Amino acid sequence: MLVRRLRFPKTLSTCSIQASDIHTQHYDVIVVGGGHAGTEAVAAASRVGAKTLLITQKIQTIGALSCNPSLGGVGKGHLVKEIDALDGVMGRAGDWAGVHFSILNRSKGPAVWGPRTQLDRQRYKDFIQSELLSTPRVTILEGSVQDLLFTTADPEKPGRHKVYGIRLAHGGGEIHSCSVVLTTGTFLSGALFIGQNTSPGGRMADPPSCAGLSHTLKEVLGLKVGRLRTGTPPRIIKDTIDFSLTLIRLPDPSPTPFSFMNTHTHCKPEEQLPCYLTYTTPGVERVVKESSHHNSHIQQDTKGPRYCPSIESKVLRFPGRQHQVWLEPEGLTSDLMYPQGLSMTMPPEKQLCLIREIPGLQRAKICTPGYGVQYDFVCPTQLFPWLQVKSTQGLFLAGQINGTTGYEEAAAQGLWAGVNAGRTSLSKPPVSLSRTQSYIGVLIDDLIGRGVTEPYRMFTSRAEFRTALRPDNADLRLTLRGFEELGCVSEQRYNEALRVQVSLNDALSALKSIHLSASRWKDKLGDVNISETKSSILNGVEVLQYKDVSLQMLASAFPELAGLYLEFSERLKVEAIYRPHCEKQRKEIERMQAEESLYLPEDIDYLTLPVSLSQEVREILDSVRPSTLGAAARLSGITPAAIVHLFNYVHRNKHRNHSKIVGVS
Amino acid sequence: MHFIRGWRRSAAVITAIRSLSVKRLLCSIGSEDDTIFAVSSGQGRCGVAVVRVSGPASAHAVRSLTRGFPAARVASLRSITHPQTRELLDRGLVLWFPGPGSFTGEDSAEFHIHGGPAVISGVLQALGSLPGLRPAEAGEFTRRAFGAGKLDLTEVEGLGDLIHAETEAQRRQALRQMAGDLGRIYQDWRFRLKRCLAHVEAFIDFSEDELIEDGILNDVDTAVRQLMTDMENHLSDQRRGERLRSGVQVVIAGSTNAGKSSLLNMLTQRPAAIVSATAGTTRDVVEVPLDMGGYPVLLSDTAGLRDTTDSVEQEGVRRARQRVEQADLSLVVVDLTQVPSEPQLVPVFLSEHLKNILEHSSHRQQCILILNKSDLSSAEHNRSIQASLERSDDVPAACFLSCHTRDGLEDLLTLLQNRLKTLCGDPLIGSPSLTQTRHRTLLQKSVEALHQYHQYRDVDLVLAAEGLRLGLSSLGRITGRAGVFWQVGSSRSRIDHPSEWVGAK
C-alpha cells in the first residue's frame, strides 16, 4: 500500500521572471490570470506536457481567495472531488489549508453529501503557489496583458481567427504561444462599487486590467458579451465580536480529506476552528432602507446573483424575515472573521451601522468594507465543449469570464481548458466530458448548451444521473481515463485508483458469493431489520443495502470473505445502496451518450435548413448553436419532433462533419 | 333499430390509421423541403372535394393554377386551369393560409373543387406537374403540424381518432382529446409533479446551513399522495376510454343449440352466422362490428360449450372460452325450455349454468342472461321463472327473448345500451378518459415511480427524488412534449423561494 503523506509546501522563491527575459521565447500555452481557474489551467496544461506560462498582475495574489474562506459544499464538493480525481490542485490545497471540515447533507443520502471546509487563506495561497513553482514546464510572469495576437486561421479547422500569443502592456512586447487561456475572473471591464463611488477594477486593492482585452473580445472577435455582478462582505475584527451571543457550530470530529491521495488533513482534528451563527434583526432592514439612496450598486439592474445575494437584495426582496449570518474564521492566525451572508455595497459608515444591529456584533469593528463588482462575461454558448472559443482557434476561456460563480466552478473549467489548451498545442485532438460521467461535464454542457442569465452555480439537481455521479466515486469515474486517455494524471495516482477499483470489485464479488435466506442473515448478523416477507435468498450486497447493516457486521460474520475490505467499508456501503439504481439507468445513459456523440456541424444554417422545423425552433437553434444533438434536445422550446428531424439531417450529412472529436465518456 | 349498423370497414384500415400515432410521427421522413398535396375530403364520388397543398411552393401552386392571388383565409371563387395546357379544369373556391398560422405551420392552400373523379384527377395532375410538388404520404400533413409544434402527441392521436371515428361517442371522445382536454390533464399533473420535484431538489441542494424549512418535505409528501390518488382514479376507469376507442368486446356464449347464432344474426340484421337445429354448428368465432346507439361494439358468436370428442369442435370450444375471458360483456344465451319450472330450482339451475360458462366470477358481473326461445315455452312457465328471478339476488340481469318472433328485442337493446354506456362512459361528462394503452402504460409507470418516492423518503432522499424524476419523465412522454433527458435536465424550475436566495459561494 502507498504511504500517503501531505506534501509540504515550499516557500515562494524568486521564481518570477522579468518580462525582458521572455521576449524571444515561445510557449505552448499562455494562461492569463492567476485565480482558481488560471492556476488549475496552468497545472493541467503542464501535466499534459505543455510548456506553460502564467501571466498574472501580482504574483502574491496567485491562489488568493477573493471572497469567502471556504471550499466545497453541496454540488461544489462534487466538483472538488472530480478536480482531484483528474489530479488537479484544489482538493489537496483544501486538505492542506482547511481548518474546519464538515460533510453537509449527511441526512440526505451519500450521493449528495457535500464535503466542505473553512480555509486558512494564507495556507491556501502558499500551497497553490508552491505547487505551481514545483510543477515542471511552468513559468510565471508578473505583468499585464494588453492584447491578443492573431494570425490566419487554419482552414482545416473550424474558426475564422487563430490566436498566436499576447502583447504585454506598458511596452512589454509580444510573447508567442499555440494556445491562450483567458481566466480574467471579474477583471474584464470590472467596476467596483461602494456606496455611490465607482472605480475600475476586479478586486479591491488590485489594479484594473487593461481595457484592450475586453475591446478585442467584443470588437475584433465579435463575441457576445454580457454583464454580471457579485459582491463581498466586510471583514470584521475578531476581538470585537461577542461570541457569547451567537451559536457555535463545531466541525466534524474527524475531518474527511477532499483528495483521494490523502488519508488525513493537515489540520489535526482538535486544532480545528469553530464557526458561529447569528441572525439579522429588524434594525438591519432599517439600515438597508435608510441607505438605499446612497447605494448605486443596488439601484442598477445588472443581474444580481440569486445564489449569493447581497444583504440589501435579501432584505428588500424578503422583508420581515430573519436571515442567517455565519461568522467564519479566516485562518488559524488571522485576527479577522468573515460574515457569510452579509455581502453589501452601502457606504462604509452605513456598513458599520448595519453590522452593529446584529447580535454579537454590537461593538464590532470593520477592517475592510464590503463592496460590489460588475464585470463582463462572454456568453458561453460561443464555446466548444473543450472551452475553446468557436470562432478563434487556440483561444480558451475558463472561470467567471464564462458566467459562473464560485471557486470550484472556476477551477473545474480551468482544469478542462488547461487540458485542452495543452493538447491543442501538442497537436492532439480536443476532448470533451460527458454529462453522464461527471459534474464537470454537466457544468460545461449547461454553460455551452444553454448559456447563462445569472451567475451559474453548481447544484446536484443539474445532474441527470446523480446516483452514479457521487463524491465517493469520482476517482473511478475520472482518474483512469485521466491517465489512459488524457495524460493529465500522474502514474502514482493512477496506480492508486486501479488498486481501489480492483479492491472494490473483489469485495463486491466476495459479498455476492454469500447467499443466505433472510432468517439465516438475521441469525448471523444479530438484530437487524431485514424483511422476511421476501422468502428469496439474499446475497451479501443486497443485505448491505439495509440501513442497519454495515460492512463491519458482515466482516465479523464472514471474516475470510468480507474482512479483507474494511478499508473500503464506507465506499462499499454506498456502492451497495446505489448500484441497482445505477444499473437501471444504464440504458438511459447509453441513449444519452449516443445523442451526445452526434455532433451538429458547425456551419449548419438553422434558418434555412431544409428540414421541417418551426420558425421558433430555428431561432432557438440559431442563437444557441448546440454542439451535439443531446445539447439541442435539452434546450427549452425544442420539440422531440425537431430532434428527430435534426437527427435525420445529421445522419444523412455525416460525411460532411470533418472535425474529429474524441469523446471522453 | 336505426342505431345498429356496421361501423368498421375492416380491421386492417383501423390498424393502419392508428399507426399514424407516435411511431409514424417520429419515423424517418423523406425530403422536408417538398411541397405536398392530397385530396383531403375522402375517396369516391362526392359533391365537393378538397385538395390541400402544404409547403414552401404552395403560393407558387396557387399562382400557377389560378389568376388573382386570394386574400389570406378568405374563400375566393376562381377558375382553375392546368399550368401547362391552360385548359380549364374547374371553377371552385381557393383558400390561402400563410404559415406559420396554418394547420401545418407552413404556407398552405386549399382548392375546393367539384367532386367528380375526373375533376379531382385533373387538379392533382396539374399540381403534380409543378416543380417541388409531390403527393403527400399518409398522415404527412399531421406529421408536419406535429413537427411545427402545432399539436402535442395526445392531440395528434385525438386527430387521428377523430378522422376515423365511426360512431358518435367515438367522435365526441376524439374531439375532446384533439382539443387538448386529455393533454391538459397530463400537463397539469406534470406541472404539479415538477413543483414537488423542485422543492425536493431545493431541499437537497441547499444544505442544513442555508435556512430551508423542514415543512417543505411534508408539503411534498401530501402533494405526491394527492397526485397518486388522481392518477390512480384516472387509471381505474375500467378502460372506458380505450374501450370506446377500439370497440367494446361483446361475446355471445352458452350451451350448444341455445340460439347464439340466431341472436347474432338478429342483432346484425343479416345472416352472418350459419344457423341450424344441429348442436355444434358454430365451430369458430364469428365476429361482426356494430354501432349500437353510438357505441362501437365488436360482437362475437362462439361455439356452444360442451364436452366433445370432435377435435375441430374442441378447438372451437377452446376459442370460445378464450373469447369469454377477454370480453367486456358476455351475453349468455339459455334455452328457456331447458330451465326447470319449479321456482326454488330456477336460481340454482341458472347459477350452475353460468358457472359452467363463465368460469371466473368477475365475468359473471359483466353479463346479461338471455332466456331464449320464449315462444317455445308456455307463458305460464315463463311467468313462474320471471317471478323466481325477481326474488333471487345472485342471478344477473336477465331478459326474455325469442329470436324467432323478435319478442323482447326492444328490452334487450335498452339493457345492452345502458351497459355500453357504463362500459364506455359518456365522453362529454367528467374528466376525459384514457384512450390509449400507451397512456395507460406510461401512467402506470409514473405511479410506480411515485411509490418509490414514498418508499425511500426517509431512507435516502436522492433515491426518493429519483422516483419523482422518473415519474415526471413518464408523464412527459405521454404528451410527447418532452423526452426523458430534456425533461429531467430542466427539473429545476425557477421557484421564487427565499431558500433559493440564501446560498453560500
Statement to judge: residues B402 and B261 lie in one domain: yes
Statement to judge: residues B334 and B414 lie in one domain: yes
Could you tell me if B191 lies within 8 Å of chain A, comparing CB atoms? no
- Residue A636: DSSP 8-state: T
Chain A: give the shortest CA distance to residue B145, in Å. 9
Whether A8 is in a domain gets the answer no
Q: For A592, which residue in chain B has the nearest alpha carbon? A: B485
A338 touches A235 (CB < 8 A): yes
Statement to judge: residues A175 and A36 lie in one domain: yes
What pLDDT is stored for residue A413 in this prediction?
A: 98
Boundary-marking domain end, from B150, B167, B202: B150
Residues on chain B touching A73 (C-beta within 8 angstroms): 207, 504
Residues on chain A touching B465 (C-beta within 8 angstroms): 461, 466
Whether B412 is in a domain gets the answer yes
d(Cα A633, Cα B282) in Å, to the nearest integer?
A: 57
Q: Which three cell numbers stand for residue B185?
A: 390533464
Residues on chain A touching B490 (C-beta within 8 angstroms): 634, 636
Statement to judge: residues B25 and B160 lie in one domain: no
Boundary-marking domain end, from A544, A574, A593: A593
| Sequence-ordered alpha helix ranges (H) in B132-180 | 140-147, 153-164, 168-178
Chain B: give the shortest CA distance to residue A444, in Å. 14
Q: Which pLDDT band, with edges at 50, 70 and 90, does B45 fall under?
A: low
Q: What is the sign of the dihedral through the CA atoms of A501, A504, A509 and A512?
A: negative
Statement to judge: residues A84 and A227 lie in one domain: yes
Chain-centre distance for alpha carbon A391: 25
Q: Which pLDDT band, with edges at 50, 70 and 90, does B447 fall under?
A: very high
Partner-chain residue, chosen from B33, B146, B207, that has the shortest CB–CB distance to A641: B146
B299 touches B279 (CB < 8 A): no
Asked if B485 lies within 8 A of A642 by C-beta distance, the reply is no
Chain A: give the shortest CA distance to residue B151, in Å. 10
Chain-centre distance for alpha carbon B207: 48
Q: Which pLDDT band, with edges at 50, 70 and 90, does B42 fall under?
A: low
Could you tell me if B31 lies within 8 Å of chain A, comparing CB atoms? yes
Interface of B with A in 454-473 (CB under 8 A): 459-463, 465-466
Asked if A109 lies within 8 A of B463 by C-beta distance, the reply is yes
Q: What is the DSSP string of B192-254?
A: HHHHHHHHHHHHHHS-GGG---THHHHHHHHHHHHHHHHHHHHHTSTTHHHHHHH-EEEEEEE
Q: For A458, which residue in chain B has the nearest alpha carbon? A: B205
d(Cα A193, Cα A345) in Å, to the nearest integer?
A: 6
Statement to judge: residues B87 and B116 lie in one domain: yes
Statement to judge: residues B304 and B355 lie in one domain: yes
Average pLDDT of the residues of chain B? 77
A513 touches A497 (CB < 8 A): no
Statement to judge: residues A224 and A263 lie in one domain: no
Residues on chain B touching A613 (C-beta within 8 angstroms): 147-148
- Beta strand pairing call for A52-56 and A26-32: parallel
A93 touches A131 (CB < 8 A): yes
Inter-chain CB pairs, A–B, below 8 Å: 165
Domain CATH number, residue A172:
3.50.50.60
Q: What is the ipTM of this complex?
A: 0.81
Statement to judge: residues B292 and B351 lie in one domain: yes
Residue type at B34?
D
For residue A453, count other CB atoms closer than 10 A to its CB. 11
Whether A265 is in a domain gets the answer yes
Whether B164 is in a domain gets the answer yes
Q: Which pLDDT band, with edges at 50, 70 and 90, does B166 fall under?
A: low
Q: What is the DSSP string of A384-400?
A: -TTSBBTTEETEEE-SG
What pLDDT is stored for residue A635 in this prediction?
A: 77
Asked if B484 lies within 8 A of A588 by C-beta distance, the reply is yes
Partner-chain residue, chosen from B486, B491, B504, that has the shortest CB–CB distance to A340: B504
Statement to judge: residues A365 and A391 lie in one domain: no
Statement to judge: residues A189 and A63 lie in one domain: yes
Q: Is the pLDDT of residue B160 over 80?
A: no
Residues on chain B touching A445 (C-beta within 8 angstroms): none
d(Cα B192, Cα B202) in Å, to the nearest integer?
A: 15
Is pLDDT larger for residue B247 or for residue B70? B70
d(Cα B117, Cα B32) in Å, to the nearest integer?
A: 29
What residue numbers bound the domain in which B440 lies? 155-237+434-500
Residue type at B267?
L
Asked if A616 lies within 8 A of B489 by C-beta distance, the reply is no
Q: Which residue has the cell 355444434?
A: B280
Domain CATH number, residue A548:
1.10.10
What residue numbers bound the domain in which A100 lies? 23-232+375-463
Number of domains in chain A: 4
Could you tell me if B397 lies within 8 Å of chain A, comparing CB atoms? no
Partner-chain residue, chosen from B31, B207, B465, that has the shortest CB–CB distance to A104: B207
Statement to judge: residues B275 and B288 lie in one domain: yes
Residues on chain B touching A461 (C-beta within 8 angstroms): 201, 204-205, 465, 491-492
What pLDDT is stored for residue B496 in this prediction?
A: 32
Average pLDDT over residues B329-345: 84
Partner-chain residue, chosen from A107, A326, A581, that has the shortest CB–CB distance to B209: A326
Interface of B with A in 240-299 (CB under 8 A): none
What pLDDT is stored for residue A8 in this prediction?
A: 47
Partner-chain residue, chosen from A74, A467, A641, that has the shortest CB–CB distance to B463: A467
Whether A481 is in a domain gets the answer no
Statement to judge: residues B179 and B129 lie in one domain: no
| Closest CA relative to residue B204, chosen from A458, A106, A105, A578 | A105
A382 touches A390 (CB < 8 A): yes
Domain CATH number, residue B316:
3.40.50.300
Statement to judge: residues A619 and A640 lie in one domain: yes
Statement to judge: residues A115 and A218 lie in one domain: yes
Statement to judge: residues B252 and B346 lie in one domain: yes
Statement to judge: residues B232 and B247 lie in one domain: no
What pLDDT is stored for residue B442 in this prediction?
A: 82
The pTM assigned to this predicted structure is 0.74
Could you tell me if B43 lies within 8 Å of chain A, comparing CB atoms? no
Whether B5 is in a domain gets the answer no
B124 touches B39 (CB < 8 A): yes
Q: What is the pLDDT of residues A164-191, one digit of tens each?
A: 999 998 888 899 999 999 999 998 989 9
Could you tell me if A454 lies within 8 Å of chain B, comparing CB atoms? no
Q: Which long-range contacts (CB under 8 A, 24 or more apart) does B125-128 make?
A: B125/B82, B126/B64, B126/B65, B126/B80, B126/B81, B126/B82, B126/B83, B126/B89, B127/B37, B127/B51, B127/B53, B127/B61, B127/B65, B128/B37
Instruction: Suggest the residue from A67, A78, A108 to mutate for an interface test with chain B (most B CBs closer than 10 A).
Output: A108
B267 touches B245 (CB < 8 A): no
Residues of chain A with pLDDT under 70: 1-24, 210, 298-307, 532-535, 591-592, 595, 612, 639-641, 651-665
- Residue B300: DSSP 8-state: E
Beta bridge partners of A228: A303, A375
Burial-class residue A516 by CB neighbours within 10 Å (0-12, 13-18, 19+).
middle
Whether B221 is in a domain gets the answer yes
Domain CATH number, residue A639:
1.10.150.570
Q: Is the pLDDT of residue B249 over 90?
A: no
Asked if B205 lies within 8 A of A74 by C-beta distance, the reply is yes
| Closest CA relative to residue A587, chosen from A364, A371, A436, A462 | A436
d(Cα A649, Cα A267) in Å, to the nearest integer?
A: 58
Partner-chain residue, chosen from B144, B465, B480, that has the shortest CB–CB distance to A612: B144
Q: What are the two backbone dihedrals, phi and then psi, of residue B489, each rounded to the nearest 5 degrees?
A: -60, -30
Asked if A323 lies within 8 A of B146 by C-beta distance, the reply is no
Statement to judge: residues B405 and B257 lie in one domain: yes
- Beta strand pairing call for B295-301 and B48-54: unpaired
- Beta strand pairing call for A366-368 and A371-378: unpaired
Asked if B486 lies within 8 A of A638 by C-beta distance, the reply is yes
Highest mean pLDDT among A79-93, B75-89, B190-204, B309-323: A79-93
Q: Which long-range contacts (CB under 8 A, 24 or more apart) does A513-518 make?
A: A513/A539, A513/A540, A513/A561, A514/A539, A514/A540, A514/A554, A514/A558, A514/A561, A514/A562, A515/A539, A516/A543
Whether B4 is in a domain gets the answer no
d(Cα B260, Cα B253) in Å, to the nearest integer?
A: 7
Number of domains in chain B: 3
Asked if A318 lies within 8 A of B503 by C-beta distance, the reply is no
Boundary-marking domain end, from A542, A568, A593: A593
3-class DSSP state of A328: strand
| Sequence-ordered alpha helix ranges (H) in A251-310 | 282-291, 296-299
The answer to which of B122-131, B231-240, B246-255, B308-317 has the lowest mean pLDDT is: B231-240
Asked if B29 lies within 8 A of A462 by C-beta distance, the reply is no
Q: Which residue has the cell 363463465?
A: B358
Statement to judge: residues B373 and B255 lie in one domain: yes
Boundary-marking domain end, from A329, A351, A371: A371
Statement to judge: residues A245 and A215 lie in one domain: no
What pLDDT is stored for residue A568 in this prediction?
A: 92
Q: Which three cell numbers stand for residue A514?
A: 454469500
Boundary-marking domain end, from B368, B392, B424: B424
Asked if A104 lies within 8 A of B209 by C-beta distance, the reply is yes
What pLDDT is stored for residue B43 in this prediction?
A: 62
Statement to judge: residues A209 and A102 lie in one domain: yes
Q: Which pLDDT band, with edges at 50, 70 and 90, does B12 fall under?
A: very low
Q: Which residues contact A206 (CB under 8 A, 6 or more apart)?
A: A57, A58, A61
Whether A262 is in a domain gets the answer yes
Domain CATH number, residue A319:
2.40.30.260
3-class DSSP state of B12: helix
Boundary-marking domain end, from B400, B424, B448: B424
For residue B20, count other CB atoms closer than 10 A to its CB. 20
Partner-chain residue, chosen from A104, A405, A635, that has the shortest CB–CB distance to B208: A104
Asked if B210 lies within 8 A of A314 by C-beta distance, the reply is no
| Sequence-ordered alpha helix ranges (H) in A232-360 | 282-291, 296-299, 311-317, 348-355
Asked if A633 lies within 8 A of B466 by C-beta distance, the reply is no
Q: Which pLDDT band, with edges at 50, 70 and 90, does B439 fall under?
A: confident
Statement to judge: residues A61 and A190 lie in one domain: yes
Whether B429 is in a domain gets the answer no
Statement to judge: residues A51 and A81 lie in one domain: yes
d(Cα A592, Cα B484) in Å, to the nearest integer?
A: 9
Statement to judge: residues A29 and A164 lie in one domain: yes
3-class DSSP state of B498: helix
Partner-chain residue, chosen from B489, B502, B503, that has the shortest CB–CB distance to A634: B489
